[in-house]
Structure 1
Amino acid sequence: MKLFPAHSYQAELQLRFAAVERKLGQSFPGTQIEHIGASSIPGAVSKGDLDICLLVAPERLEACVVALQAQGYQEKQETLRSEALCMLEWLEPAQAHAVQVVAQGSKFVELFIGFRDRLRASPALVEAYNQLKTEWAVQGEDAYRAAKSKFIEAVLAAPT
């Protein structure tokens, strides 16, 4: 798996996020739209993908998923799906991105936004995360994901 240094992808993905944010904002007025994942964290290495969190009232989650699918988004296969989370993908190469539809108040808010905010506030955590990702990227997708999950859990469990 190839990882890219922040300077080689973040500016482009910031622009892509802004474009998608405008589009989602028109489709879901008043909905909180957040840039998440490594591309939202200054200095973070990444696979170069864009992740977006669409925070919705729990009772609106399924309707939002259906509306996104009607726009061309596809539900991401082989990922966690629950009453509080649905991951979708926009697969057009020039604008590829993922949207995590997340129920407000669910544990996934802390997982995506809390983790992002903790790394944004700590260059030392970003450095440790980059090192972990670089070391595990050569071990295969499953090992990489497992190592990242352990790191994320540890960061979220630590006192702020």
Structure 2
Amino acid sequence: MALTSKICAYDNHWPAAFTAEQARIAQGLGVELVDIQHVGSTAVPGLAAKPEIDLLAVVVEHRDEAARNAFMATLGYVRGSDLSPGHHFYRRDVEGVRTHKVHVCICGHEQIGRMLRFRDLLRQDSGIRQQYQDLKLRLEAGNREGIGEYLAQKAPFIDAVMDGLSR
């Protein structure tokens, strides 16, 4: 079973794709919105990635989920399962290909800092960035069960790196 997209070399157009989507999403989140950040591998220059733009939207609280879901649907997003309490997930596919993922987290959610710290570490540390890229490519090559398997196999590396930061 394939991943949602094939890993490819870093594309210099990814930051512009984030900026365009950031503006579209910000319109619908209104006063609830605190910030939108580019996260995930496409936010790290030089890192090979699935060409899926990850956005992290921080909101004051989850006020009117039905209205947000309806707005996101107008942009082509489908609400996925919540990743944890206070952490909502949306995905956008174009012609069967995943193009964007949006994480909507309430202020103070632990995943906000974790996503930003991991992104920033990969931007700053070329050795860790290379190790992570090598791991992702190995996991893609050996993947048999799809995206769930891929994410589960990346998690120990990310956890180890993040645990090292907190020491």
Partner residue in 2 for 1:13? 14
The TM-score, its normalising length taken from structure 1, stands at 0.82
| Residues matched between the structures, number | 155
Q: C-alpha separation between the residues in 2 aligned to 1:12 and 1:123?
A: 21
For residue 44 of structure 1, report the CA deviation from its aligned partner: 0.9
User: Which of 143, 161, 166 pairs up with 1:155?
Assistant: 161
Q: C-alpha separation between the residues in 2 aligned to 1:88 and 1:159?
A: 29
Change over 3 Å in CA distance of 1:68–1:156 after alignment to 2: farther
Q: C-alpha separation between the residues in 2 aligned to 1:43 and 1:28?
A: 31
User: Which of 87, 90, 96 pairs up with 1:88?
Assistant: 90
Give the superposed CA RMSD: 2.5
User: Which of 43, 53, 64 pairs up with 2:56?
Assistant: 53
1:3 correspondence with 2:10: no
Structure 1 stretches of 5 or more lacking a match? Answer: none
| Preserved contact between residue 78 and residue 90 of structure 2 (Cα < 8 Å) | yes
Q: C-alpha separation between the residues in 2 aligned to 1:132 and 1:95?
A: 21
Structure 1 segment 104-143 matched on structure 2, within 5 A = 104-140=107-143, 141=146, 142-143=148-149
Q: C-alpha separation between the residues in 1 aligned to 2:114 and 2:82?
A: 13
The TM-score, its normalising length taken from structure 2, stands at 0.79
User: Which of 28, 39, 47 pairs up with 1:36?
Assistant: 39
Partner residue in 1 for 2:100? 97
Q: Which amino acid aligns with 1:100?
A: H
Q: Percent of pairs identical after alignment?
A: 25
| Preserved contact between residue 25 and residue 31 of structure 1 (Cα < 8 Å) | no
| Preserved contact between residue 119 and residue 126 of structure 1 (Cα < 8 Å) | yes
Change over 3 Å in CA distance of 1:83–1:43 after alignment to 2: same
For residue 66 of structure 1, report the CA deviation from its aligned partner: 3.0
Change over 3 Å in CA distance of 1:96–1:131 after alignment to 2: closer
Q: C-alpha separation between the residues in 1 aligned to 2:158 and 2:82?
A: 16
Structure with the higher helix share, 1 or 2: 1
| Preserved contact between residue 61 and residue 101 of structure 1 (Cα < 8 Å) | no
Structure 1 segment 61-76 matched on structure 2, within 5 A = 62=65, 65-71=68-74, 72-76=76-80
Change over 3 Å in CA distance of 1:155–1:80 after alignment to 2: farther
